[in-house]
Chains A and B, each alone.
Chain A
Amino acid sequence: MQDVETQWLINARSGDAQSFGRLVDAYQTPVYNLCYRMLGDHYEAEDAAQEVFLRAYKSMDRYDPQRPFSTWILSIAAHYCIDLIRKRRMKPVSIDELPYQQITDHSPQPETALSNREREEQVRVLLDSLSADDRAAVVMRYWYDFSYEEIAAALNLSVSAVKSRLHRARQTLADRWTKHSLNPQSLERTRNESPAF
């Protein structure tokens, strides 16, 4: 698989769109998952993931073959999502624009589907309490098992900055979870809360 992927990368660097299409097929889930965890919305995640692959395709000549492709493309995804979140924060949102979040669940059992949905919602609220940069570091650490060095390379930070961000993020997440444990309704209130208040 590694050799096949290497061949795809070589062809894609020469401008072969079909070979890059195969890379899109192979990496769509990791990239989409990162975008979803960062943005918290399926439509935005789809749009962001598509844009990430477009940017990667246009920058293939700048891709360093010594570096794993997964690290490189997830780095592009993280930077793009961070920029989106920052732009989003500067734009006032009206109540009418708040989307209803539909989480797709393939589980056949209603109880399992419900607990999966609840779990996803809890994860979304927890990640939403973090800043964009901290969120990216957390997602890369806990979903992709990136080392501190890999996260530092992906986010253009020093290793000590990554450690500091992750530590701060863990504190924030633990505090958020503690509040949720003391007041289980806090999760429900947060979801329905208008950003106007």
Chain B
Amino acid sequence: MNHQLFEEWLLTEEPLSSDQAEALASHLTTCESCRRVSAAWSEVEHLFHATTFVDPAAGFADRWQNRLAAQNLYELQKRQRRQSWAIFGITAVSAIILFILMLARVLASFDNVTELFVYWVGQMTALLSDASLIQEISLVLIKTGITVVPFSTWMIILSTLIVLCLLWIFSLQRIYFRGGLFNEANH
């Protein structure tokens, strides 16, 4: 009989017929290597059955809850970043299209490049003189403001603005970096 067949019978979990069992038992009395394999597997099987389940360290479920919370926050932030980029992209594309349409309309109203250049220089000059006028008006307003409104009132207004800014920054930090939004949603 083929030796490989005995090797298969040794390690199979299928029940052997009485003839097969008898042939295997007879073979084991003469074959040293098969006896070794049979004994080895028997010991390995016994070893496996003797080992119990290994427990995780205490607090496994709590650690999992924390991990879930961190994962949810990460996904929320990722989603918000994606939405921000989408809105930015749509706005940028719309602005570019509008700019191109306006530019096309402006260019269509001129007969040649020289006319366009003269018009552009005129517009820049007008813009510079407007900026200069705004600067003069602002300086007058500031001088008047400093004279009319007391210094202490200015300090109060500035301090209030600084406190409001700090509060805003602190709230943003709580929402985005400490999971404040997620915790509120959960409870």
Binding site for B on A (CB under 8 A): 17, 21, 24-25, 28-30, 32-33, 36-37, 42, 45-46, 49-50, 53-54, 57, 104, 119-120, 122-123, 126, 142-143, 166-167, 170-171, 173-175, 177-178, 181
A177 near B43: Cβ-Cβ < 8 Å:
yes
Structural contact, A32 and B47, CB atoms closer than 8 A: no
Residue numbers in B under 8 Å from A170 (CB-CB): 11, 41, 44
CA distance in complex: A142, B41 (Å) = 13
Closest to B37 in A: A174
Q: Is the CB of B64 within 8 A of A53?
A: yes
CB pair A119–B12 under 8 Å, yes or no, is no
Is the beta-carbon distance between B65 and A21 smaller than 8 angstroms?
A: yes
B36 within 8 A of A: yes
Interface residues on B, range: 20 to 34
> Nearest CB to that of A173 among chain B residues?
B44
Given contacts A54-B71, A57-B68, A174-B37, A28 and B48 within 8 Å (CB-CB): no
**A49 → chain B, closest Cβ, in Å?**
6
A21-B65, A24-B60, A50-B64 known; A36 vs B41 contact (CB < 8 Å): no
Whether B40 lies near A120 (C-beta < 8 A) is: no
Per-residue CB proximity of B46-65 to A under 8 Å, as 1/0?
A: 01111101111100110111
Q: Is the interface of B mostly helix, strand, loop or mixed?
A: helix
- B residues at A contact (CB < 8 Å): 7-8, 11-13, 36-37, 40-41, 43-45, 47-51, 53-57, 60-61, 63-65, 67-68, 71, 186
Q: Closest A residue to B51 by CB, please name it.
A: A123
Given contact pairs A32-B55, A46-B60, A49-B56, enumerate 20 new A-B contacts (beta carbons under 8 Å): A21-B61, A29-B55, A30-B53, A32-B56, A33-B54, A36-B54, A50-B63, A50-B64, A119-B47, A120-B54, A123-B48, A126-B47, A142-B48, A142-B49, A143-B53, A170-B41, A173-B40, A174-B11, A181-B40, A181-B43
A28 CB contact (under 8 Å) in B56, B67, B68, B71: B56
- B64 lies within 8 A of A177 (CB): no
Chain B residues with CB below 8 A from A46, complex form: 56-57, 60
Chain A residues with CB below 8 A from B64, complex form: 21, 24, 50, 53-54
Closest 6 CB pairs of A and B: A32-B56, A174-B40, A177-B40, A33-B53, A174-B41, A142-B48
A171 CA / B54 CA spacing, docked (Å):
26
Q: CA of A17 to CA of B71 in the docked complex: distance in angstroms?
A: 13
Contacts of B41 in A (CB 8 A): 170, 173-174, 177
Distance of A53 Cα from B44 Cα, bound (Å): 31
Q: List 7 A-B contacts (CB under 8 A).
A: A45-B56, A49-B56, A53-B64, A123-B51, A173-B44, A175-B37, A181-B43
Task: For B55, list chain A residues within 8 Å (CB).
Answer: 29, 32-33
Give the chain B neighbours of A49 by CB distance below 8 A: 56, 60
Residue of A nearest to B56 (CB): A32
Bound CA–CA A33/B56 (angstroms)? 8
CB distance from A15 to the nearest CB of B (A): 11
Q: What residues of chain A lie closer than 8 Å to B68, measured between beta carbons?
A: 17, 54, 57
**Judging by beta carbons under 8 Å apart, are B61 and A143 in contact?**
no
Q: B44–A24 contact, CB under 8 A?
A: no
B53, A29: Cβ atoms closer than 8 Å: yes
| A167 and B49 contacting across the interface, CB-CB below 8 Å | no
Q: Which residues of B contact A50 (CB under 8 A)?
A: 60, 63-64, 67
Alpha-carbon separation in the docked complex, A24 to B63 (Å): 11
Residues from chain A with a CB closer than 8 A to the CB of B37 are 171, 174-175, 178
Contact: B8 with A167, CB < 8 Å?
Answer: yes
Min CB distance B43 to A, Å, is: 6
